[in-house]
Amino acid sequence: MTIRICSLLPSATEIVCALGLGKQLVAVSHECDYPEYVMSKPKATQSLLLTAKMSSGKIDRMVSHHITRGHSLYALDTKLLEKLRPELILTQELCKVCAVSYDEVVKAARILDGNPSIVSLEPRNVEEIFDNILLIGQLTDRRYEAEKLVDLLQSRIRKTASRTRVQHRPRVFCMEWIEPPWVGGHWVPEMVRIAGGFDGLGKSGEPSTMMDWRKVVQYAPEFIILMPCGFDMKRTVRESATLTDYPKWRELPAVEEGRVYAVDASSYFSRSGPRVVDGVEILASIFHPEVMEAKYPYAVQRINSKKS
């Protein structure tokens, strides 16, 4: 079975490629960058905001400004889709900040030949990420490959959970945005739990939320994981310079003990694809290096948080 696929989500693109369907991808989003070869695929979307050189605070203000006025953050290239004639379009409809509007995708699909199927992927936790892999496998006649991949990922999850089960569970704050501070939601608190930590601020299965900094101070995290949504590690390290502006920052246990880490959020935490399992292993190696070796040193950097 050969099917022409358009993926408007980096996570869906990763799943498609993990199932051996890379050649069937006729178009991807402008944010799709893994595996590396998908960057040469036609881009069906583009961002209407130039945020590459903006601080997290400025990005937040600009995004809020556009959303409150009903403006779209992304553009969909309908002419390209007409030319490429995808039969399956993978997208999402939950987050206006994450991808092109679902309504725009549906509207565009109406004018395409062949009445393409539109599948919205909305995982809230790790298990639902695995369900999405199985769903895409079913839709593309790759059920066996999908089941095999999920079995492998679940095996790694169980192995990590087994190693960290009897260890002390430190209090963790997963900072999904720096200015203003947000706490990671959806699958992130579950990732922390599997990795042997305790996330008392994020709510598993629920969206990320803006966090009152006073609650962070009261919570007194023992580890702070900087994972701004969509940022890689290098950019996160640069953004960390503003952290000392927060009241009582230097008094937080994580800061006093030098346990503030920047991670590659874009690759291992923000996207609901197979690499969230890598993210779990990264967290386990941070929280419990005595039982979990660091397999991804290029994806983690400790921050000199007292001087940043």
Tell whether 78 is covered by a domain. yes
Q: Above 70 in pLDDT, residue 96?
A: no
Q: Above 90 in pLDDT, residue 214?
A: yes
The last residue of one of the domains, among 89, 122, 155, is 122
What pLDDT score was predicted for residue 308?
Answer: 44
Maximum average pLDDT range among 45-59, 67-81, 83-97:
83-97
> Which residues fall within 8 angstroms of residue 81, CB to CB, at 6 or more apart?
6, 27, 44, 108, 112
The last residue of one of the domains, among 91, 106, 122, is 122
Least confident of 58-67, 237-246, 283-292: 58-67
Looking at the fold, whether 113 and 196 belong to one and the same domain comes out as: no
The last residue of one of the domains, among 105, 122, 139, is 122
Least confident of 25-39, 91-105, 194-208: 91-105
Looking at the fold, whether 201 and 94 belong to one and the same domain comes out as: no
pLDDT band at 169 (very low <50, low <70, confident <90, very high): very high
Looking at the fold, whether 75 and 200 belong to one and the same domain comes out as: no
What pLDDT score was predicted for residue 44?
Answer: 93
What pLDDT score was predicted for residue 54?
Answer: 66
User: What CATH number should be reported for the domain holding residue 217?
Assistant: 3.40.50.1980
Contact 44, 118 (CB under 8 A): no
Burial class (CB in 10 A: 0-12, 13-18, 19+), 111: exposed
Mean predicted lDDT score pLDDT of the chain? 89
Q: Read off the pTM.
A: 0.91
H or E segment and range at residue 46: strand 45-47
> Which residues fall within 8 angstroms of residue 291, CB to CB, at 6 or more apart?
163, 164, 167, 284
Looking at the fold, whether 35 and 112 belong to one and the same domain comes out as: yes
Looking at the fold, whether 14 and 96 belong to one and the same domain comes out as: yes
Nearest to 170 by CA among 190, 204, 129, 200: 200
Looking at the fold, whether 184 and 274 belong to one and the same domain comes out as: yes
Tell whether 105 is covered by a domain. yes
Looking at the fold, whether 20 and 87 belong to one and the same domain comes out as: yes
Looking at the fold, whether 292 and 178 belong to one and the same domain comes out as: yes
Looking at the fold, whether 114 and 190 belong to one and the same domain comes out as: no
Tell whether 150 is covered by a domain. no
Kindly state the percentage of the chain with pLDDT values over 70.
84
Looking at the fold, whether 183 and 288 belong to one and the same domain comes out as: yes
User: For 101-154, how does the pLDDT look when each residue is reduced to its tens digit (9 = 90+)?
Assistant: 666 677 666 656 668 888 989 899 999 999 999 999 999 999 999 999 999 999
State the total domains in the chain.
2
Q: Above 60 in pLDDT, residue 227?
A: yes
Residue, of 47 and 65, whose pLDDT is higher: 47
Tell whether 161 is covered by a domain. no
Q: Which domain holds residue 194?
A: 168-302
Looking at the fold, whether 84 and 175 belong to one and the same domain comes out as: no
Tell whether 225 is covered by a domain. yes
What pLDDT score was predicted for residue 55?
Answer: 73
Tell whether 143 is covered by a domain. no
Tell whether 152 is covered by a domain. no
How far apart CA 33 and CA 48 sit, in angstroms, is 18
Tell whether 148 is covered by a domain. no
